Structure 1
Amino acid sequence: MHHTEHADRGEDTGAQADRSADTGSTEKVTGRHRAPERRRLPRTRALLSATPFRIGSVATVVCCLGAVAFVESRAATTAPIEPTPAGLLAERAAEAERQPASRATERAPEPPPAATPTPTAAPSTPTAEPTAARTAVARASRKPARPTPVAGLTQAQMDNAHTIVQVGVRMEIPRRGLVVAIATAMQESNLYNLASGVLPESLDQPNQGVGYDHDSVGLFQQRPSSGWGSVADLMRPAYAAEQFYSALLEIAGWQEMSVTVAAQSVQISAFPDAYAQHEQRATTVVGALV
């Protein structure tokens, strides 16, 4: 029995030896249940324990960490650059050109605030300052002051004579015709603008006295009934003078006639020779007005 058990155990031991041998060969191939690193630990620890190796390893690790941090911060802070539109580039260029002017040390003075215009009447003549020639023309065309009476006339008589002469100058009547007109008015109304006592409507017009020679009115005592004009018109000195000159121009050769004949040709008076006595004074008045 004992021999048998030993034999069996021997066989078992042999079998186990065989399996161990097989297993060992297999483990050598696959590395199962082996720890080769443990057998190498002493060499690794020796290397790590060396001072130069430790310093180099630490420096390498620090450099790697710094590189990684730099790359990450660069990626985080750098934004992708987008293309700039052409219109924005042009606007930036224009802004760049304007910048130097805004930074200039000398700037143009700002215009003063506009004053509130004061309503005024529109000028009838240019506002520019007149020259000496323009001033002379303005003075010549200005209405003259009331003329100074001459030849014993009153101011009212001189004003009426002035009106008669002005109308004649406007109608381009020769100087001789002006004297005839003044002499006629001296004889007819004594150079006063008279109303008529027989024409009540003439009294409503501006007048300087009243006459009673039929319906004769005004400076030249012209009669409305004879076709000279209306009472209101004939009571205006300028209109009455114009009517007289128009009738004088219709007389052929009046310029060669005497003052009396020329005046009588217009007036057809009952006293034809009465005008001659006023010729000298009429000439003086015309000389003072022309």
Structure 2
Amino acid sequence: MSQPPAPRARPGRLLRTGAALVVLLAVAGYLVVQYVTGGEDARGCKVVAGGSGTGSYGLTADQAVNAATITAVGTARALPERAVTIALATALQESALRNLDHGDRDSLGLFQQRPSQGWGTRKDIMDPAYAAGEFYDHLVKVPDYTRLPLTDAAQRVQRSGFPDAYAKHEPDAALLAAALTGRSGATLTCAGLPAGGSPTGPDAVRAALVRDFGRGVLQPAAADAEAAPAPSPSPEISGETSGGRTVTLPVTASWTGEGAIARQSAERRGWQLAHWAVANASALHIERVAYAGREWTAGSTGSTWRPTGADGTAGAERGPGPVRITSGR
């Protein structure tokens, strides 16, 4: 006696089964990626509020590099932190801090500047340092821009069709500006896993520093050079502990005042350089950054700034000295 045929699967059930299988495969693939890369933030960065402040902001390694460049260009022009905050908020709105090669009509780059509107050539605008410089050139022409609401100051430069869009980025931009100008020390961390095919070695670090800060970053200020014993005119490449892979940057009190105020300025400058190096860690294969008794190491748990003192705490209390940036081989 023949058996009755098995009931046919309903189309709806097949569809649900197929969808479930796709989801399971996607989850499995995600878990594999996390295992290989060390987590979704393995190449990401995070900035937190300093002191008794609250708040944090996460960003990718590429975004961190662009934010560091925007900040460096502003401080190299001796512009106030407010100018940097405005620039960062503008870039967050216009491009999400990505160097886009497209946009509305002929808009390009971090600030979505348009060659047809006189912002420069396509090649110029795609250079983050150039684009940031152009933004600042226009910003400083806005009367009392530091006293204006951020969205108004940004709109005077950008002339956007969405003039109120910049305001929502102010809290995140302010966190980034505080860290990347050095006012808030040890507040920016990155996983720092190297990106493939990127330039490595101390020469690449030097070139990137000059690109963002100008050549003055490689030597002490004249006033400090008189007081310091035989300083080198350029960063020292130390071969004692890192096989010639460490760039030692002088940190000078060249911004303001004397005495305690000058020292505070030197410390701020040091944290700016240290945070810049951490932001560029993936791009430049930087393995370690040390400053003021603290050290960041790529790939370490939490990528935190750890005290370097012998007892685990005393090192964090040392006064500011040079910034040491150790690159990969």
Q: What TM-score do you get using the length of structure 2 for normalisation?
A: 0.39
Q: Which has the higher helix share?
A: 1
More strand by share: 2
TM (norm. structure 1) is 0.44
Larger radius of gyration: 1
